[in-house]
A and B are shown apart, each in its own frame.
Chain A
């Protein structure tokens, strides 16, 4: 068995099993671990596609940054030991049916589409991608940096506790006392 086929099979299995863990398990912390597993699989698929730089960026951003942020959000919001109400069976069946119908429709589209014939994998160097980013796609590059700054400042402002609300209400009462 050739090395690329093995890497593809292992990565695809990792991505799909991780995805099933990420939506199927009941504990939200296990969901996050499954999400990280799935994204490791997707990074492996990017490796087999000759996009090493993209695989590393995916690992850094999704598994590293976003996974850690999700763990923080779970710790700040939802206690892990609260009793969970069971999932209603009709809703689970309906969601599965919807996903299956969408999958069938998309698969029919993929089968019907005509793709150009090519059997090799194109190696794209990070230098070439960076050069394209700063010449042809420079507007998108600048816009994405502005979006990231705005999102970061917005996240801080939204999650910050309001300083007016934090002031103890007992201060007014003490001033009213003679």
Chain B
């Protein structure tokens, strides 16, 4: 097993921890945390593959930087939505947010 496989295994475990949290949590903030963990695992994957496969272009760095920017924008929007939802519904538990259920 090479170094690359070790990095990919760590990223895989982190991604699946995030997936487990995203499915299982009921608090919106907990789900956002799990989602950000998954995004971090993806950027770790990209950087590990580009730096350990000997390509001299820094495309992995660029992709990871863009991913971090998208994650920051997503987190800002999501957190402000949570605050607005809390103001309207008095809860950020997903099981209470079922107004559209028929």
Determine the distance from Cα of A116 to Cα of B34 in the docked complex, in whole angstroms.
32
Known: A110-B12, A158-B80. A66 touches B17 (CB 8 A): no
Given A22, A39, A78, A155, which contacts B27 in the complex, CB threshold below 8 Å?
A: A78
Please report whether the interface of chain A is mostly helix, strand, loop or mixed according to DSSP. helix
* Interface bin, chain B: 35 or more
| Per-position 1/0 for B59-102, Cβ under 8 A of A | 11110111011111111110111111011000010000000000
Known: A78-B27, A129-B58, A137-B62. A147 touches B53 (CB 8 A): no
The A/B interface has a contact count, at CB < 8 Å, of 219
Are the C-beta atoms of A19 and B14 separated by less than 8 Å? yes
Are the C-beta atoms of A91 and B14 separated by less than 8 Å? no
| Per-position 1/0 for A142-163, Cβ under 8 A of B | 0010011011101110110100
Are the C-beta atoms of B84 and A140 separated by less than 8 Å? no
Interface centre among A15, A19, A92, A156 (most CB of B within 10 A): A19
Which residues of B are in contact with A by a Cβ distance under 8 Å? Answer: 2-10, 12-21, 23-25, 27, 29-30, 32-34, 36-37, 40-41, 43-44, 47-62, 64-66, 68-77, 79-84, 86-87, 92
Which residues of A are in contact with B by a Cβ distance under 8 Å? Answer: 8, 12, 15-16, 19-20, 22-23, 28, 31-32, 35, 38-39, 42, 45-46, 49-51, 53-54, 57-58, 61-62, 65-66, 69-70, 72-74, 76-78, 87, 91-92, 94-96, 98-100, 102-103, 106-107, 110, 115-116, 118-122, 124, 128-129, 132-133, 137, 140, 144, 147-148, 150-152, 154-156, 158-159, 161
